[in-house]
Amino acid sequence: MASPQFLYLLEQIQKTSKARRLAWRPARLTYNCEAAFRIALGEGVIRVEAEDDQEWTFNASYCVKLLTRDGRLVDELKVSQQIDSEHFTLARDLFQSARAAAFNLDQLIDGMQDDIESGRERDLPPEEEPLREDPLSEIPF
């Protein structure tokens, strides 16, 4: 369970995110992570990640970490729809606002709508290879 100070900080970030865009950036994915974002504030870094973002399955879960600048874990909040529903909305909202800010969602959508209205089409970028779910799955037994 996260400390009261960390929860208070997350609530302040959530409130600020509603008023203005914060400088969230995409983060490197870990093994059980679908998407992750980071922001540096003061002497710390907040990392928010979705282990599962599918709320319709009732399995959505998020992890929010407070890290030092050199990557050491200071505090952590792990929530899911089934386990910690009290803080679930806070973590979900942080993740969604971080994703929107990191990819500049409003500008992305506006540009796509401009192309629709003008009848313009663009070349597709190359697709990346899908990530392997389990690195041990290729070991022959």
Domain map (residue ranges) of the chain: 4-119
pLDDT-derived band at 138 (thresholds 50, 70, 90) equals low
8-state DSSP, 53: -
Q: What is the pLDDT of residues 32-71, one digit of tens each?
A: 778 899 999 999 999 999 987 666 667 788 999 999 999 9
* Cβ–Cβ under 8 Å, residues 63 and 51: yes
Q: What percentage of the chain carries pLDDT values higher than 90? A: 46
What sign does the CA torsion over 29, 32, 35, 40 have?
negative
Residue type, 128: E
Q: Which residues contact 102 (CB under 8 A, 6 or more apart)?
A: 24, 25, 26, 37
- At residue 31, the pLDDT reads 75
Mean predicted confidence (pLDDT) in 98-125: 88
pLDDT > 80? residue 120: yes
21 or 66, greater pLDDT = 66
The CA R_g of the chain, rounded to the nearest whole Å, is 18
pTM assigned to the model? 0.78
Tell me which residue of 44, 7, 40 sits closest to 24, measured CA to CA. Answer: 40
